[in-house]
Amino acid sequence: MPKRATSEAKVSITMADIFGPGGMLEKCHPGYEFRRAQLEMAEMVDEAFQKHQHTLIEAGTGTGKTLAYLIPAIRSGRRVVISTATKSLQEQLFQKDIPFLRKHFAPDLKVALMKGRNNFVCRQKVHLMANQPVLRGMDEIDWFAQIRDWEKLTETGDRAELDFLPDDAELWNRIDARKDACTGQKCLQFQQCFLTAMRQRAQEADLIIVNHHLFFADLALRQDDFGSILPEYAAVIFDEAHEIEDVASDYFGRAISSYKFDELSRDAEQTLRMVNAGTAATRRPLAQIRERAHAFFEAFPEREGRFPFEPAERAAFLERNREPYDGLAAALKRLETELSALSSKPEEVLNIARRAAELRRELAFLLESQERGYVYWFERRGKGVYLVATPIDVSEILRERLFEQFDTIVLTSATLAVGGRFDYVKQRLGISGSREEVLPQEFDYRSQALLYIPKALPDVRHANFAARAAEEIAQLLHLTRGRAFCLFTSYAQMREVHERLAGMIPYPLLLQGTAPRSALLDRFRATPGAVLLATASFWQGVDVPGSQLSCVIIDRLPFAVPSDPIVAARVRALQEDGQNPFAEYQVPKAVLSLKQGFGRLIRSRNDRGVLAILDNRIQRMQYGRIFLESLPEYTVTQDLAEVARFAQEL
Cα–Cα dist 415/239, whole Å? 11
CATH topology match: 254-391 vs 445-647: no
> Which pLDDT band, with edges at 50, 70 and 90, does 245 fall under?
very high
- Give tens-digit pLDDT for 358-392: 999 999 999 999 999 999 999 998 889 999 999 99
> Which pLDDT band, with edges at 50, 70 and 90, does 450 fall under?
very high
Q: Which is nearest to 114 in space by CA: 95, 93, 98, 90?
A: 90
Q: Is the pLDDT of residue 179 over 70?
A: yes
pLDDT mean over 290-297? 95
Q: How far is CA 556 from CA 222, 356, 360, 424, 509, in A?
A: 41, 45, 43, 22, 20
What pLDDT does 341 receive?
83
What pLDDT does 544 receive?
84
**Residue 509 pairs with which residues in a beta bridge?**
531
Cα–Cα dist 569/589, whole Å? 15
CATH code given to domain 254-391: 1.20.120
Cα–Cα dist 626/643, whole Å? 24
> Which pLDDT band, with edges at 50, 70 and 90, does 2 fall under?
very low
Cα–Cα dist 472/477, whole Å? 9
Q: Is the pLDDT of residue 4 over 70?
A: no
What pLDDT does 134 receive?
65
The conformation of residue 418, written as its DSSP 8-state character, comes to B
Name the CATH superfamily for 7-110+205-247+394-438: P-loop containing nucleotide triphosphate hydrolases (3.40.50.300)
Cα of 107 vs its chain's centroid, Å: 32
Name the CATH superfamily for 445-647: P-loop containing nucleotide triphosphate hydrolases (3.40.50.300)
Name the residue with higher pLDDT: 273 or 557: 557
3-state SS assignment for residue 216: helix
> Which pLDDT band, with edges at 50, 70 and 90, does 400 fall under?
very high
Domain ranges of the chain: 7-110+205-247+394-438, 117-196, 254-391, 445-647
- Give tens-digit pLDDT for 601-645: 988 888 999 999 999 999 999 999 999 999 999 999 999 999 999
What mean pLDDT value characterizes the chain? 90
Above pLDDT 70, what percent of the chain? 96
3-state SS assignment for residue 83: strand
Above pLDDT 90, what percent of the chain? 69
Cα–Cα dist 574/582, whole Å? 9
What pLDDT does 19 receive?
95
Q: How many other CB atoms are found less than 10 A from the CB of residue 588?
A: 22
